[in-house]
Amino acid sequence: MTALFSALLLLIAAYVVFDRRRHARLRAACVAAFEQAYATTSPLPTFEMSYSYGEPVFKVEFASKEAMQAAVDANAAFLRAIATLCKDRGRKRQFKAQRAVFFRHPADDEPVVAHCCDTMRAQVGRTIVYQDDMRRYALKTSVVGTPALPIAHCPWCGSQLPPTA
Ligand SMILES: [Zn+2]
């Protein structure tokens, strides 16, 4: 019994080592693919590789939206390389590079505006006009050509809204 147990432990240890080696090899290949795809891109985006449900996922972050758009060819080349390298890595479904590589820029992380209540959140863009740059709320009118009426309190929960600048 003890012998069987030790054999099992050994097998698990061997698998862990095998899996780590496999991961290290794939990682090295993906880093090389990144360096090749972005060899002429300046400034160089940052690269991160991790796993989500056993599938490799990648984050390529650019300094700005413009830098990301300028690198369209490099991004396409990187997607092709990742698709080839990871094609057998889908555990439950076929691996798709488009689903696993995330191209980002800092503006993507801008915080979403927190409105006062669920009704307000649902009505912004419908009965409520919200001006993000001025944090100003206004009520749409049904009279064509009449500007929206600025409001100081939420019509649903009564919260005070930011003062109009
Ligand atoms: Zn409210």
At 6-31, the pLDDT tens digits run 999 999 999 888 888 988 999 999 99
Centroid of ligand 1 to alpha carbon of 123 (angstroms): 10
Q: Thinking of the domain 2-109, which architecture would CATH place it in? A: 2-Layer Sandwich (3.30)
Centroid of ligand 1 to alpha carbon of 133 (angstroms): 19
pLDDT at position 157, please?
A: 94
Centroid of ligand 1 to alpha carbon of 150 (angstroms): 15
Task: Average the pLDDT over 130-134 and give the result.
Answer: 82
Centroid of ligand 1 to alpha carbon of 136 (angstroms): 14
Percent of the chain whose pLDDT exceeds 70: 93
3-state SS, 102-161, equals EEECHHHHCCCCCCCCHHHHHHECCCEEEECCCCEEEECCCCCCCCCEECCECCCCCCEC
* Domain range annotation of the chain: 2-109, 111-165
pLDDT at position 114, please?
A: 80
Task: Answer yes or no: pTM beyond 0.75.
Answer: no
Centroid of ligand 1 to alpha carbon of 107 (angstroms): 27
Centroid of ligand 1 to alpha carbon of 144 (angstroms): 26
For the chain, how far is it from start to end, CA to CA, in angstroms? 78
What pLDDT digit, counting tens, does each position of 59-112 carry? Answer: 999 998 899 999 999 999 999 999 999 988 866 678 889 889 999 988 766 556
Centroid of ligand 1 to alpha carbon of 145 (angstroms): 26
Centroid of ligand 1 to alpha carbon of 128 (angstroms): 11
pLDDT at position 90, please?
A: 66
Centroid of ligand 1 to alpha carbon of 149 (angstroms): 16
Buried b (16+ CB within 10 A) or exposed e, 42-80: eeebebebeeeeebbebebbbeeeebbeebeebbebbbe
